[in-house]
Amino acid sequence: MTNEEMENKLKVLKTDLQRRLSAIDADLGAALDPDSEDRITQVENDQVLTEMRREAREQIASIDAALERLKRETFGRCVRCLRPIETKRLNALPYTPLCVACAHLAV
């Protein structure tokens, strides 16, 4: 994959995430109805949404970092050990900053 193709792929992913994020924000913005029997379900639902929002934001931040690495031409290299990231891993997770070995260490 060329850098340009990778950049497009990352931008498409980012647009998707931003769309998802505004949908989550809209859902969370909906006021809780204190008299609703579904209140507990709503609260649980909000917790799930809040978690999803956190994940989406983290992913967007990772994508921005990956786009920055593309610009600096360090993309595809592990930020920790500087070895090339496995192609298979990059295809599955194009915005990952770490190779398989370092990702295991980071957990």
Stretch that binds Zn ion, among 25-33, 36-44, 48-56, 98-106 (CB under 5 A): 98-106
Closer to Zn ion by CB, 6 or 102: give it.
Answer: 102
C-alpha 18/C-alpha 56 separation (Å) is 8
Q: Does 102 bind Zn ion (CB under 5 A)?
A: yes
Binding mask 78-97 for Zn ion (x = CB under 5 A): x-xx----------------
Question: Comparing C-alpha atoms, which of 56, 63, 57 is closest to residue 93?
Answer: 63
Closer to Zn ion by CB, 32 or 82: give it.
Answer: 82
Are 57 and 79 within 8 A, CB to CB? no
Write the DSSP assignment of 47-63 as a string of letters.
Answer: HHHHHHHHHHHHHHHHH
Site residues (CB under 5 A) for Zn ion?
78, 80-81, 99, 102
